[in-house]
Amino acid sequence: MNIRKATPNDVEAIARMKRKLWPDADDDLAQETLNIIKNGEPDLLLVADDGELRGFIEVSERRYAEGCKSSPVPYIEGWWVDESFRRQGVGAALVHAVEDICKERGHTELASDTWFDHELSVRAHTALGFDVVETATHFRKALSKAEKTLSKAGKDVEGAYDVWAASYDSDQNKTRDLAHEVMQAALRDFSGSVLDIGCGTGTMLQAVSSNFDTVAGFDVSEEMLAQARKKLPDADLRVADLREAWPTEDGSFDVVYETLVLEHIEDLGHFYQEAARLLRPGGVLLVVEFHPIRQAQNRGAEFELNGKTIQLQSFQHGFADMVSPALAAGLQLMETGEYSSAVDQTPRVLKLVFSA
């Protein structure tokens, strides 16, 4: 394994690794990397090369670093080894090469940082002789209205949907429209009482409400429910965290359905157990969700806000992931279906129908 200084020919490979290390970075990482290479000292950018780049380490000089006595201090700004080459000494070789160069420059300390809950990085630093000198919680407060909105949207799924609520119905969204079309068609043959899990702005529930005697909906977002209440003033609409016990008695509904909700739920076992609990004997659960093929392409819920794309937290679920926990909850799989829009090369949504 050859540890060497990076060259302009390495820029794209390093930028690829940086995007994995800092997935939320808005900067032009390729141009930033090229600038570091061209500018040279005191910044330092090394790569691990065995015919193909396996990792990099980027070091700057800071006037101050927590716990250090000297100034300036060489500081590890980025350190990455591709997953398939970890635990083979590549990361250690990069750090040792930096140490040698820093010693030649007369430095007596080397500083770094990582997220406090990034256990792998903490262990890697400790194994190489770094001491933990300080932990801190960093705060930020948005001052402009636009930044406050962005800050709320980026915190969690609830915050994102709160912000998205005002434009959700008017935004162009092929997946939402197709999912609603499939679900409306599936619900035509049912009646009685119905619960929409993740009802959002209530558009779907409003479209099918005339089929049912009792109409109810859950959603994690109060702002989404505010929009839904305008459409469905007589419906029983409640805020609910689907990761916890759902706020309804056992056997309350003949039909329970969800559209594009499961991507936001990691533990589908709990989801199906609660859905099964709420269904009456012979009741039906309908699921219309991002197709596993589309999920594998890292496609999920997102929207534009103030010129930025807000991607909501999502979890990938294969076909078995969406069916096995339902069967374990005592539900029976009755029907499946795959659906595409006119522009799709692969299925966009998957329909699953279960009976209690």
pLDDT confidence of residue 142 = 65
Q: How many domains does the chain have?
A: 2
**CA-angle at 105, arms to 104 and 108, nearest 5°:** 90
Per the domain annotation, does 133 fall within a domain?
A: no
Residue at 148 is within a domain: no
* 67 vs 121: CA distance, rounded Å: 19
184 & 111 share domain = no
Tokens read off for 171: 């935004």
Token readout for 273 is 């157990």
Query: Whole domain around residue 180: which residue ranges?
Result: 153-355
For residues 56 and 46, the answer to whether their CB atoms sit within 8 Å is yes
What is the per-residue burial (b if ≥16 Cβ within 10 Å, else e) of 88-108? Answer: eebbebbbebbeeebeeeebe
Tokens of 24: 């939320």
Q: Is residue 81 part of a domain?
A: yes
Q: Are residues 222 and 312 in the same domain?
A: yes
Do 117 and 164 lie in one domain? The reply is: no
The SS3 assignment for 77 reads strand
63 and 172 share a domain? no
Asked if residue 285 lies in contact with residue 356, where contact means CB atoms within 8 angstroms, the answer is yes
Tokens 């990938």, residue?
A: 316
Per-residue pLDDT of the chain (356 residues; tens, 9 = 90+): 899 999 999 999 999 999 999 988 877 899 999 999 999 888 999 999 989 999 999 999 999 999 999 999 999 999 999 999 999 999 999 999 999 999 999 999 999 999 888 888 999 999 999 999 988 887 777 665 555 555 655 568 888 898 899 999 999 999 999 999 999 999 999 999 999 999 999 999 999 999 999 999 999 999 999 999 999 999 999 999 998 999 999 999 999 999 999 999 999 999 999 999 999 999 999 999 999 998 888 778 888 887 788 888 889 999 999 999 999 999 999 999 999 988 888 999 999 999 99
Looking at the fold, whether 62 and 177 belong to one and the same domain comes out as no
Domain harbouring 120, CATH code: 3.40.630.30
Burial status of residue 64 (CB atoms within 10 A of its CB: 0-12, 13-18, 19 or more): exposed
Q: Are residues 244 and 346 in the same domain?
A: yes
* 272 lies in the same domain as 123: no
Asked whether residue 191 is assigned to any structural domain, the reply reads: yes
Give the CATH number, domain containing residue 316.
Answer: 3.40.50.150
Is the domain of 206 the same as that of 344?
A: yes
Residue 326 lies in a domain: yes
| 136 occurs within a structural domain | no
Task: Report how far residue 298's alpha carbon sits from residue 290's, in angstroms, rounded to the nearest whole number.
Answer: 11
- Is residue 134 one of the residues assigned to a domain? no
Give the per-residue pLDDT at 329.
97
Final residue before a domain boundary, out of 80, 112, 127: 127
Last residue of a domain, one of 81, 109, 127: 127
186 and 111 housed in the same domain: no
Check residue 147 and give its pLDDT: 56
| Closest by CA position to 24, among listed 158, 115, 90, 137 | 115
Same domain, 84 and 159: no
Q: Does the residue 117 lie in any domain? A: yes
Same domain, 63 and 166: no
- What is the pTM for the complete model shown? 0.61
- Do both 123 and 178 map to the same domain? no
Residue ending a domain, among 82, 112, 127, is 127
